[in-house]
Amino acid sequence: MKSFPMFLTMAGRRVVIVGGDEQAAQKSRLILKTEAEIVLAAPELEPELAALVDSGRASHYAGPITPDLFRGAALVFIGTGCPGIDASIHAIAKEAGVVVNVVDQPHLCDATTPSLVDRDPVVVAIGTEGTAPVLGRQIKTQIETMLDPRLGGFAALAGRLRDAVAFRVPKEARREFWRRTFSGAAWEKHRSGAEREAAQMLKAEIEAGGIAEPTMGSIALVGAGPGARDLLTMRAVARLQEADIIYYDRLVDPDVLELARRDAERVFVGKEVGAHSWPQDKINQVIVASAKQGKKVVRLKSGDPSLFGRSTEEMAAAEAAGIEVEIVPGVTSASAAAASLNRALTERGQTDHVVISTGTCRPGAPNPDWGRMLNEGATLALYMAVARAGEIADTLMGNGAPADCTVEIVARASHSDEAIWKTTLGDLARTVAEDGVENPAIILVRRPKFIEPEAQRAKG
């Protein structure tokens, strides 16, 4: 390790930034996150920097560059835009014995600026010792998805209560109290936006000497998206990393499960082809039973839980048992299919509404009224409809849809083995049969609006 990472106390200390253009502005944005006094040294300042001076957040120095300008500064950043001038100013700054960073000249840097994940007062710094800044930014993106946006506020609340904990909670119980604080009910309340209630819960527990009453677990119905794990939401990743037990479906990509805690229990509850499947009532029972044991339960579903995911039944079971339940949305397969096709689900002047339907209903239930769904200006997105493609096409055409309507099929959207077919409504059944199209797949049928030709409108 050539560089030693350290957090510097910046409150009330002076940081000198030499330069008046974009390079100096970039460093200013970084230091503005601290409580340092900022000095901008340049003959003239671009508008963003001038606004900082006008607001009183920084001061402007337009005089000669001498060692006295830098003496006593906590940090110096040099970025005039000219490498030669920067090197000259670096030599002057070093006469003052300060720590210097010169933009884009690592050999002149006493310190480099890391990529930051900011959840003030929680800060994560990622450095590559100047060798691979792009890699540092990629790691930052990964960590951003791991840390809840509200984490900093909760950490600040905990900091304000430290003296009360030291006074009320016995020393031998404090470690368990803080462990519970950052993984228990108070954190869950704060993260959901109930900040005042979270603070009251912590204060009540402190008054009780750090003893918490047993609490119920929780259930999160989490959308795993269409497949690719980088399409998960930040909230979905957070719930996976907090879960004690995960009940997952067949269509959930194994890579998604790698985002979970290593010690989380994983239970497959999906339906394998040719194998016995879990009935919905049994799934309802086991997720509720796990939550009653105080566990954080994730019911992981492909796509979005609110679309053909039986979420209503699982939420009703949880609510009947008095268990807190939430839905974490996921990218639905229709959106992923459109992205794979590199086109939108709607197009101005052509299709102005999207209808989502299923091709597979509960045994014994009547078919959806597909014929009424595909009116002019519609895009019809059909889920799990491959096996009934011929019947659906006949129904749509029987209700007036032209046989030449554009049809696009995307199987396993966003997966490495994704496949795409483009056909027409009249040829849909033949395409599915001859090419062996299988679920999971999305069928998109587009019926653009009829637009009267310009010449015909003029004649009329």
Catalytic residues: 249, 271
State both tokens at 358.
Answer: 């299923």
State both tokens at 345.
Answer: 């689900």
Please report how many Cα atoms fall inside a 13 Å half-sphere around the Cα of residue 337, on the Cβ side. 28
Beta-strand relationship, 441-447 and 406-411: antiparallel
Phi, psi dihedral angles at 408 (to 5 degrees): -125, 135
Q: Which residues of 307-331 are buried (b: 16+ CB within 10 A; e: fewer)?
A: bbbebeebbebbeebebbbbbbbbb
Tell me the residue type at 76: V
Tell me the residue type at 396: L
State both tokens at 56.
Answer: 């009183």
Q: What is the DSSP string of 147-195?
A: S-TTHHHHHHHHHHTHHHHHHHS-HHHHHHHHHHHTTSHHHHHHHTT-H
Q: Name beta bridge partners: 99.
A: none
**Beta strand extents in 315-431 (DSSP E only):** 324-328, 353-358, 378-383, 406-411, 419-424
Tell me the residue type at 102: V
